[in-house]
Amino acid sequence: MKYTDKQRIEKILYYATRLQKYISEKNITKEQLLTEIELQWLVTTPLYNIGEHIYNLSKEFKSEHQNIEWNMISGLRHRLVHDYDGTNWNIIVDVIFEELPIFIEQIKNLDSR
């Protein structure tokens, strides 16, 4: 199925907010995410989905919203999928705990336009 940019943004927001909510509700800590492989597996699926939808956003949409690091986010997905054993979990923890809330707000602001 071919999604529109609007549909992709809705899916990105859905996956991001669900991930953030799960981390919060389960009181998952940075240390747990660094050390527990089950949690690492759990967070990779929404990150894959977010990255895949970002990768498939139109070039026009991405260039209209250059304030978001589209290439970096889709690149993260690529690294997780193709170099999982080489994943630096310190970076993923920073993404989840530091960058994800900012990203969600950026996406919400796009959605309200």
Domain range list for the chain = 5-111
Q: pTM for this structure?
A: 0.90
SS3 track for the chain: CCCCHHHHHHHHHHHHHHHHHHHHHCCCCHHHHHHCHHHHHHHHHHHHHHHHHHHCCCHHHHHHCCCCCHHHHHHHHHHHHHCHHHCCHHHHHHHHHHHHHHHHHHHHHHHCC
Residue 84: predicted pLDDT: 63
Whether 113 has a pLDDT exceeding 60, the answer reads no
Q: Which residue has the higher pLDDT, 16 or 86?
A: 16
Q: Dump pLDDT digits (tens) for 60-101.
A: 999 999 999 999 999 888 888 887 677 899 999 999 999 999
